[in-house]
Structure 1
């Protein structure tokens, strides 16, 4: 997931609770969700899922648990956790194949050896925003996100630290590419470290949106769409001698644009980012 701290960007953060319900209760609601995402006006109230019922579906999917302080967390026994585990199993099998192939032949890209790498989004790919979303009632604002990230560590997405740390130990370089803003770098790096991600999120491996001083390798500068920003950053990473063998994200906009041999979509029924 790529969250932005820009008020302008947050206006594009489209809530698709309808699509969430579609995943949970069938294709009948999918059309309504798609219509909402496309900003089409429903013709009647019957095309709009009841918000309370959708929220209940989300909680059930994540196996909502509440601690003594009233904070909400996902359950490791939830259907969400099971779905994530299945995706991670497929991803690891792919990466094991990459490791074996490299051991036999080495990897060649653009006429020279390139080191294998993976790229990971942050929110709802490596870090789980469920508690934050429940805390703000699924109403994202840059201010509430800043306040949360500054003081609180998000839980890791189930199983992802183990997979990422394994990849690093096998010689696969790890890069984090997020739509979070540059001013959130310290909080984000702290969070990754505190919840068990061993690959260091230093400036050479951790890319955040910088609208004040956008990097020269992004032709779109401060006006990049999510796809342009993410794909352009992956292109930059590969230009440094890496071959991105897998790209992980919870939004399709995290994964579009090329510059990755394989993509892995993590589930996220809480919001939609074009």
Structure 2
């Protein structure tokens, strides 16, 4: 997930997104706007869409808590993406990026140490239970209360893939739109659910609007793409070649500064 989500974020439910496209941005626009639904039949029923999401994640409950299932279609889709990513990373390491940064390759490593970058929410840890708990209505207060009392589970397979990369000598970085105030919660959660790479200050970047870093020319006004791509550029300037960038939103991946990018599935919301 990129930047802190606005209180009136769009629910980018998969079926709704496919049907409506830009209609979420057309609310209140002139009726002549072709993106505005002209009939209720053009709008997926929200209850049905939520049920589809629960089926896709293989919803399993323990008491009042909701969990995704390891045999769900969501988990299967992730596994395919992760297998491709692991193959790509292994190839990059074999052809010039020797985990010591000793030599370059045709992708432009040129002696830089290989690294991967991950988003946090719905890339490293799964927000599914939180989203259901709040009815897909994110607020900073409810999100903070959740993180104060619970850890989110790892996204299926991402802990394994990330730990494998770290074992090969790949440096692991996280760039998240979570606010700086959630640093301790984020470090605790990533560590508790099995990520072995250290999410320390040098490797975990959170959104800091109070004192934005000097390397972001846009400062506190950065868009998600500016913030994330600018931070990746900063990581590159430290001597790293980002051989893999992972995110659940396209805004996690846009803007360059990565050899390859991997879009993880997330039908629960959309963030520009």
Note whether the superposition's TM-score is higher than 0.5. yes
**Kindly tell me: are residues 111 and 48 of structure 1, through their superposed partners in 2, closer, same or farther at Cα, counting changes over 3 Å?**
closer
1:80 aligns with 2:74: yes
* 1:91-106 equivalent positions in 2, closer than 5 A: 91-101=85-95, 102-103=97-98, 106=103
Contact 1:121 1:254 in 2 (8 A): yes
- The aligned residue for residue 114 of structure 2 is 116
Q: 1:51 aligns with which of 43, 46, 53?
A: 46
Contact 1:16 1:33 in 2 (8 A): no
**Kindly tell me: are residues 55 and 100 of structure 1, through their superposed partners in 2, closer, same or farther at Cα, counting changes over 3 Å?**
same
Structure 2 gaps, min length 5: 28-34
Structure 1 gaps, min length 5: 23-28
Name the count of aligned residue pairs. 261
> How far apart, in 2, do the equivalents of 1:16 and 1:44 lie?
19
User: For each residue in 1:226-263, what CA deviation from the matched residue of structure 2 results, as whole angstroms up to 9, or x when unmatched?
Assistant: 00000000000000000001100000000000000000
Q: What TM-score results when the alignment is normalised by the length of structure 2? A: 0.91
> How far apart, in 1, do the equivalents of 2:46 and 2:269 lie?
13
* 1:1-274 equivalent positions in 2, closer than 5 A: 1-4=1-4, 9-11=5-7, 13-17=9-13, 20-21=14-15, 30-37=18-25, 39=27, 40-67=35-62, 69-101=63-95, 102-103=97-98, 106-107=103-104, 112-274=110-272
Contact 2:248 2:264 in 1 (8 A): yes
> How far apart, in 2, do the equivalents of 1:212 and 1:173 lie?
28
Q: CA deviation at 1:32?
A: 1.6
Q: CA deviation at 1:111?
A: 8.8
Q: What TM-score results when the alignment is normalised by the length of structure 1? A: 0.91
**Kindly tell me: are residues 194 and 240 of structure 1, through their superposed partners in 2, closer, same or farther at Cα, counting changes over 3 Å?**
same
Contact 1:231 1:256 in 2 (8 A): yes
Q: CA deviation at 1:106?
A: 2.1
Q: CA deviation at 1:83?
A: 0.1
> How far apart, in 2, do the equivalents of 1:110 and 1:247 lie?
16
User: For each residue in 1:138-173, what CA deviation from the matched residue of structure 2 results, as whole angstroms up to 9, or x when unmatched?
Assistant: 110110001011111000000111100000010110
Q: Runs ≥4 in structure 1, deviation > 4 angstroms?
A: 37-40, 108-112
Taking only aligned residues, the RMSD between alpha carbons, in angstroms, comes to 1.8
